[in-house]
Structure 1
Amino acid sequence: MSLLIDIDRFLRRSGISPTRFGREAVNDPRFVFDIRKGRECGGKVSARVYAFMAKAEGKPGQCG
């Protein structure tokens, strides 16, 4: 799965705004908007995002 698809699904399930998600997951409030515009992110950032989503959903940390 792509990171953007996973983030969008998480946002729908959680009700968190894209700005809040970016701020809390990677300390960048524009993160989701930039990803939607084609921003690429490396493995460390992806790992942080997946760990944030897993923690928010009460799952053990995992990378997709």
Structure 2
Amino acid sequence: MLLRTIERFLHEFDIAPTRFGRDCARDPRLVFDLRRGREPGDRVTRRVEHFMNTYRRSARP
């Protein structure tokens, strides 16, 4: 589930939900809306996954 993956990512990198949403999808309410049951489309899902993968690669030493 996308939300579970996002929640782990936020915890792992200590990122605020609003910052995450703004940086990956230009939507500061993204995480809050997902928590309330919003179902993301394929495009948003791909964008979020790409952002997290890119962020992880750049955070590695």
Q: Secondary structure at the match of 1:58?
A: helix
- Note the C-alpha offset of 1:8: 0.1
- Note the C-alpha offset of 1:6: 0.2
- What is the CA–CA distance in structure 1 between the aligned matches of 2:13 and 2:51, rounded to whole Å? 12
Q: Secondary structure at the match of 2:57?
A: coil
Structure 2: segments with no counterpart, 5+ residues: none
- Structure richer in helix, relative to its length: 2
Aligned to 1:32: 31
Structure 1: segments with no counterpart, 5+ residues: 60-64
Q: Could you state the TM-score of these two structures normalised by the residue count of structure 2?
A: 0.92
CA RMSD, Structure 1 to Structure 2 (Å):
1.0
Aligned to 1:62: none
Amino acid corresponding to residue 11 of structure 1 in structure 2? L
- What is the CA–CA distance in structure 1 between the aligned matches of 2:32 and 2:41, rounded to whole Å? 16
Q: Could you state the TM-score of these two structures normalised by the residue count of structure 1?
A: 0.88
What percentage of aligned pairs have identical amino acids?
50
Aligned to 1:14: 13
Q: Secondary structure at the match of 1:51?
A: helix
- What is the CA–CA distance in structure 1 between the aligned matches of 2:43 and 2:7, rounded to whole Å? 19
Deviation by residue 1:21-60 (Cα, 9 ceiling, x = unmatched): 000010000000000000011111000000000000007x
